[in-house]
Amino acid sequence: MKPKFKGKHFITLEDWQKEEIDALLEVSYDLKKKFLNNQPTEYLKNKTAFLMFFEQSTRTRNSMEAGIAHLGGHGTFLDTSTMQISHGESAKDTAVILSSYGHGIAARNCFWGIGNRYLREMTTHATVPVMNLQCDLYHPMQGLADLMTIQEVKGETENLKVSVIWAYAESHKKPISVPVTQILLFPRYGMDVTLAYPKGYELPDWVIEKARENAKQNGGSLTITHDIETAFKDADIVIPKNWGSWVSNQSSDVIDDTLTANRHWKCTEELMKLASPNACYMHALPADRENEVENVVIDGPQSIVYQEAENRLHTAKAVMAMTMGDK
């Protein structure tokens, strides 16, 4: 692992240069190969990471816990409802104390208007790397795994049409962090990104502005449409996923008139026929089956969601190894 990464915080991929992201991916591929060949990778022997969760998790928690074990270290799962955070302890005090107990802090805090600010405050006071396991604005662990998966499946990323599409879901009011991360990251790798959503599900203006800037600097593009068929048309990658109307409506209510009016925004077998013949379906999971996507699509031959989910392990290991490691 390259020493220059030791202690570097991982809050958003916007804070990482493209060469640094490439280095993360290089290590991810190496760790994946060694995992599949059952080769030891004890780069974090006897090191500890504290994994703070303000909400539920499957892939993120388990990829981090399993990942640090594969690296020879130990991950301590912390349900924040059982910590003194629930009694009002500050992010500063938590960061200072946990830094003195171990070698890394990772946190998931998706509360709108709070999560990213909380993580940023932790970085100010922590003496170990702070890793974002998803906040209200960014999900860099997911974005890195998505990029790795696209590279594996498609090879070259330049001029790929990748459509990030809002989809209907009822399970909970989901953060905007996944689509925000994707439209900021993918244009940096020359992808032609289409962002599609019905009115009411806009992403922040500053995100769109920065995504366009990233595209201009790296030969990609960003197109916005409110027509779902346009998004699917000739796409090489489709990522239909729900996100909440947080930008225009900060209510935590899951179902409202805007949501129900857009029930037809769903990934169907018919819409997949509009995409490129070799198009792939992706989703960060968990998918709201038969709402966001038909089972015939997510379980079909074009779906690469399980490969995408598996890569969460290898990219998480790379981030920990490079930011917490000594060499």
Q: List beta partners, residue 303.
A: 281
The residue among 284, 307, 318, 308 whose CA lies nearest residue 68 is 318
Give me the helices (H) in the chain, please. 18-36, 59-70, 91-101, 115-125, 140-154, 177-185, 205-218, 228-232, 257-260, 269-272, 295-298, 305-324
pLDDT-based confidence at residue 180 (cuts at 50, 70, 90):
very high
Q: List beta partners, residue 162.
A: 193, 237
pLDDT-based confidence at residue 64 (cuts at 50, 70, 90):
very high
Residues in contact with 292: Cβ distance below 8 Å, sequence separation at least 6, in sequence order: 167, 168, 169, 240, 241, 242, 266, 267, 283
pLDDT at 319 over 80: yes
pLDDT-based confidence at residue 326 (cuts at 50, 70, 90):
confident
Residue-level pLDDT at 4: 80
Do the Cβ atoms of 132 and 119 come closer than 8 Å?
A: yes
Same domain, 72 and 214: no
Same domain, 235 and 253: yes
Same domain, 289 and 147: yes
CA separation, residue 123 to residues 81, 98, 206, 216, 322 (Å) = 21, 12, 23, 30, 17
pLDDT at 3 over 80: no
Same domain, 211 and 318: no
Identify the domain containing residue 94 by its residue range.
3-139+309-324
Could you give the percent of the chain with pLDDT greater than 90?
Answer: 98
Residue-level pLDDT at 104: 98
- Report the C-alpha gap between 86 and 88 in whole angstroms: 6
pLDDT-based confidence at residue 108 (cuts at 50, 70, 90):
very high
Same domain, 253 and 147: yes
Residue-level pLDDT at 163: 98
Q: What is the pLDDT of residues 268-282, one digit of tens each?
A: 999 999 999 999 999
User: pTM of the full predicted structure?
Assistant: 0.97
Same domain, 183 and 278: yes
CA separation, residue 318 to residues 43, 44, 172, 178, 212 (Å) = 10, 11, 30, 20, 28
Q: What is the pLDDT of residues 219-232, one digit of tens each?
A: 999 999 999 999 99
Do the Cβ atoms of 245 and 215 come closer than 8 Å?
A: no
Residue-level pLDDT at 9: 98
Residue-level pLDDT at 1: 45
Same domain, 145 and 275: yes
Same domain, 162 and 282: yes
Could you give the percent of the chain with pLDDT greater than 70?
Answer: 99
pLDDT at 49 over 80: yes
Mean pLDDT of the chain, nearest integer: 97
- How many structural domains does the chain have? 2
The DSSP 8-state label assigned to residue 289 in this structure reads: B
Same domain, 303 and 204: yes
- Evaluate the omega torsion of the peptide bond into residue 277 and state whether it is cis, within 30 degrees of 0: no
- Report the C-alpha gap between 210 and 313 in whole angstroms: 28
Same domain, 69 and 173: no
Residue at token pair 């060949």: 37
pLDDT at 327 over 80: no
Same domain, 254 and 315: no
Same domain, 297 and 187: yes
Write the single-letter amino acid at 50: F
CATH label of the domain that carries residue 32: 3.40.50.1370
